[in-house]
Amino acid sequence: MTATETAGIMSSVPERGFARVDGKEARLLEKRYLRGVLDNLHALGEIPDPLSGRVLEVEYDPEALMTGNHRGRIRQRMADLGVFDKERLAGIPLEGYVRYEAVQRGLLGVVGRVIVHAACVCPADAFLKKGEATEPVGRLTVEDLFLRVVTRPEVFHYVGLFSPTGFSEEACENLPVRNGAELVLVEKKESTRWTLHYATPKLRPAFMSLFDAESRLEKTQRFYHALKEEADLQYGGGFVLLEEMMEREGVSRSEAEAAIRRLLSEDDEIGLEEVDGKAILKRRLV
């Protein structure tokens, strides 16, 4: 994803504003996010350990995975609010989570480890009362949850929090920071793309590999459609700088190449060229 700086926080999309989110839609988004994180964990090959300064080489271990939700706490909150509706409980997010310990093992034992914690957080009271919500999750809620999931100061924690109603501007611009942990806030706004907000740019590749729930195929398809709709490729002589567009759309070189191959096979008036050492796509003059 393209990262633009906002008050010291690296964020892929700085603007705020969310529409009303239905409880069932929010629950589906929660499941999609956690499923995406699980898929990323299965594919994880290496991950930085900022505490040791080492890049760990890891293999997926199902025994190191813990999943769950907060159904019990939400049921208690329903009782506190005087809401007694089983269908309502079945149609709202349950603040699920995935917790995983990524470990590199050597001949004589463990070489290093990091903890990955992904969770859904939402305005539960609004969903319980109305079955829908509009308000974003605020800074205090983010800070409280972040502090509660960072449990072992000797092990680095990667924490990714997703909210189906998004986060307040204050939350995104004032991420809590700890020596042994980094927080990423995740939002879903458009097409298949997920928006990540984080405070440490050098860890961006790790954040993307863990908490970006968009699959490689989805990225390729999205980039293909972005190229098809790019205004500068609609007229003869028009061109786009591929590196700039890849950064803007947040796709890797391999994902971009797959999309470009498809576009070139379908439109023989567009060609791939190199100008001053930079790759461009250009529509030929007719």
SS3 281: strand
Same-domain check for residues 60 and 202:
yes
Look at phi and psi of residue 266 and say left if phi exceeds 0, alpha if psi is from -120 to 50, else beta.
alpha
How far is it, in rounded angstroms, from Cα 214 to Cα 47? 19
Same-domain check for residues 75 and 203:
yes
Same-domain check for residues 196 and 241:
no
Same-domain check for residues 147 and 183:
yes
How far is it, in rounded angstroms, from Cα 19 to Cα 22? 10
How far is it, in rounded angstroms, from Cα 217 to Cα 195? 17
Containing structural domain, residue 262: 219-283
Same-domain check for residues 187 and 251:
no
Q: What is the total count of domains within the chain?
A: 2
The two three-digit tokens of residue 70, written as one number: 């907060």
Same-domain check for residues 262 and 173:
no
User: Among the residues of 59-123, which ranges form H helices?
Assistant: 71-81, 86-90
Same-domain check for residues 235 and 103:
no
Q: Which residues of the chain have pLDDT under 70?
A: 1-18
Same-domain check for residues 223 and 129:
no
What's the whole-model pTM score?
A: 0.84
Per-residue confidence (pLDDT) for residue 14, from 0 to 100:
37
Same-domain check for residues 146 and 47:
yes
* CATH number for 242: 1.10.10
Per-residue confidence (pLDDT) for residue 9, from 0 to 100:
42
